[in-house]
Chains A and B, each alone.
Chain A
Amino acid sequence: MSTTAVNFKESATQYCHDLDHRQRIKTALTGYEVKRDENKARFTSWEEARQIAAEIKYEVISHLDQYLELFEKNLKARGAHVHWASDAKEARDIICRIAQENQVKHIIKSKSMTSEEIHLNEALEKNGFDVFESDLGEFIVQLRNEPPYHLVFPSMHLTRHQISETFTAKLGSARVTEPEQLTMIARDIMRQKFCLADMGISGVNFGVAETGMISVTENEGNARLTTALPRIHVALMGIEKMVRRMEDLAIFLPMLATAGAGQALTCYNTLFGAAKLPGEPDGPEQFHVVLLDNGRTAVLADAEQRDSLHCIRCGACLNVCPIFRNVGGHSYGTVYGGPIGSVITPNLRGLQDWKHLSFASSLCGACSQACPVKIDLAHHLLQNRRNSVKEKPPAFEGLLWHGFSFVMQKPALYRLGAKVGGLLQPLHEFVKGSALDPAKGWTETRETPQIAKQTFTQWWKENRQ
């Protein structure tokens, strides 16, 4: 088992026993579920909308090179800079270089999971820039030195008391515990940071090819401020985030809001196409878009799983996943968790090291059902399992399945095996639950079913044949 798999199992075990965590997550998601279902019901047909969204993404991804070229052309026509980064290091270097060349000291960021993916903050800090996360949830986990817990809700796992303690310890602020009071503390600090920052770094929810614009979705207003006040705006975008034209947003923005946050539309959805244009009163002097590959073209090349690039990072699959709800966002040990993370991480970061995420699922399929763009998530987990076995057949388990299929192709042997099992079962009673119990994984928390005195096949032979 890889170290990552060991860590996952240890963390999962801890969280699965943590009933407080279980309850907190349940409470956090219950409100979301009610609002999500209300807003889904407002669509004339949410299911038909899913098919449209899926087909738009299919069209774009199937012609990704053309859409990216058009996107770049339109951005550059308005004076924006477009950079292409093959991997995380290149992206970090590009962004650091932009900061250095422009005498940047203070950087403010709005929420970007892609920036987490490339470990941007550490690189910026190492290069002497000070970096602040302006999104409240990201700010909180940044202070706590924790990774974000969830794609959309980074601080979902924390109570107001924990947040209050963090603020008191790290900010020296007064001890308050009401969410409103805590939010105001962050608001007051951030206002000064927005004014002070030389550079704002944002993520991108959608890249609009036809008009050469990026679309940024948020509720707090911090992305709008990150991109309004500092003199440089850098936007980091995974190459798969494209849509065709502005009108596609008419379906994606509501679906992202509904599936992701249980809202009809999030508070701010902003399209950026240029730095400050002549005649405009404010805005950055420079606008940079950094296009990131970092393994996405490899996923693209796997036609079977190409649709995992359709992901709009709404987090709906996390919210419905019983695995996520029990092991918690931190157990995944990587930036993308939940079902989508379990699908793409083995393909982005290494199949053998990360395959355990694809195995840690009961394949219930709730994720596939929830996905607004109909990514075949549950089946991709199966495909990852198959691919990992093909690439490196597991030693012991491989023998097990060889034995299994050998027996199952010989009905007489199978019936014999079952008979023997029936005879041995009383012996199992002696070792049940102990270290000697081969079925300990089961018997620790469950009783085992009794092998029947007369199997169905025996009954059939006696009574019907």
Chain B
Amino acid sequence: MKVTLFIPCFIDQCFPDVGISVVKILEKLGHAVDYPTEQTCCGQPAFNSGAWDQARATARQALKVFRDAEVVVSPSGSCGAMMKVFYPDLFKDTPEHKEACVLANKTWEFSSFLVNKLGVTDLGASFPGKATFHDGCHGLREMKVQREPRELLKHVRGLELVEMKPNDTCCGFGGTFAVKFPMISTAMGEQKCAAVAETGADYLISLDSSCLMHIQGMFDKQGKQMKSLHLAEVLAHNL
């Protein structure tokens, strides 16, 4: 299968290892990987801010770039949800609506792609350590991905996975929310950090680097020890 990657802008800029890990994993599984370099952003920041005209303008670039893709895979529940769940809404009553639905149908979040499309749960990965998993809200509630990352992590040799309590509460990032309402974002982040710390884990894993940016950012600011990793980085650890 030819797998076309959609790498969110902040992963491209700040966390390239996540993208590199995804490439390595898919190649190990024997698939051809494509990355159209003309991709930019899914448009979610504008969309969430209510600027849907500008979001559409941005998203048209994605429609163009992924037009010929067989499947589009993204290591992000948040950006994946934008394309898979919200593009049809965004382009409703426009000439691009059909095309948006086509793209939505062929978009996958990375862990869901591995488990549900490729039927793979054991990548032969190993990663010794104690970790906890953070479910980003869009991945969890919009893309309904919860079982899949845990299936994959179950087979990672040496990894001890401990669930946070509670394990389905928002970290407080929320995109532009983090800077528009920083006091609320911070309060939510504090509670997420406390829940993470309470597990006694050394590693925080998620399929959303945007959430990790916020949570790790708080740990770092507080001078507290924690290492955040994207799921793909864990799975590609010894590849």
Taking the complex as a whole, does A directly touch B, i.e. does some CB pair lie under 8 Å apart?
A: yes
**Chain A interface, DSSP helix/strand/loop, else mixed:** helix
Kindly list the 7 A-B residue pairs having the minimum CB-CB distance in the complex, ordered from nearest: A362-B174, A446-B217, A385-B50, A364-B170, A365-B141, A389-B50, A456-B19
Residues of B within 8 A of A408 (CB): 40-41, 43, 57-58, 61
Closest to B56 in A: A405
Q: A389-B50, A401-B49, A441-B179 are in contact. Are A16 and B187 (CB under 8 A)?
A: yes
Residues of A within 8 A of B10 (CB): 449
| Total number of A residues with any Cβ neighbor in B under 8 Å | 67
Task: Tell me the A356-412 residues at the B interface (CB within 8 Å).
Answer: 359-366, 368-369, 378-379, 382, 384-390, 397-398, 401-402, 404-409, 411
Task: Tell me the B32-67 residues at the A interface (CB within 8 Å).
Answer: 33, 35, 37-41, 43, 45-55, 57-58, 60-61
CB of B112 closer than 8 Å to a CB of A: no
**Judging by beta carbons under 8 Å apart, are B183 and A13 in contact?**
yes
Q: CB within 8 Å of A: which residues of B?
A: 7, 9-16, 18-20, 23, 33, 35, 37-41, 43, 45-55, 57-58, 60-61, 89, 137-138, 140-142, 168-170, 172-175, 177-189, 191, 213-214, 216-218, 220-221
Q: A369-B141, A385-B50, A452-B16 are in contact. Are A457 and B37 (CB under 8 A)?
A: yes
B34 to chain A, nearest CB (A): 9
CB of A447 closer than 8 Å to a CB of B: yes
**Judging by beta carbons under 8 Å apart, are B7 and A456 in contact?**
yes
B114 to chain A, nearest CB (A): 19
Q: How far is the CA of A16 from the CA of B187 in the complex (A)?
A: 6
Q: How far is the CA of A277 from the CA of B83 in the complex (A)?
A: 61
Closest to B212 in A: A449
Q: A16-B183, A449-B10 are in contact. Are A397 and B49 (CB under 8 A)?
A: yes
**Judging by beta carbons under 8 Å apart, are A457 and B220 in contact?**
no
Q: How far is the CA of A422 from the CA of B13 in the complex (A)?
A: 9
CB of A103 closer than 8 Å to a CB of B: no
CB of A45 closer than 8 Å to a CB of B: no
A8-19 toward B: CB 8 Å interface, digit per residue (1/0)?
010011001100
Closest to B46 in A: A401
Residues of B within 8 A of A401 (CB): 45-46, 49, 51, 54-55
Q: How far is the CA of A13 from the CA of B188 in the complex (A)?
A: 12
Q: How far is the CA of A409 from the CA of B63 in the complex (A)?
A: 11
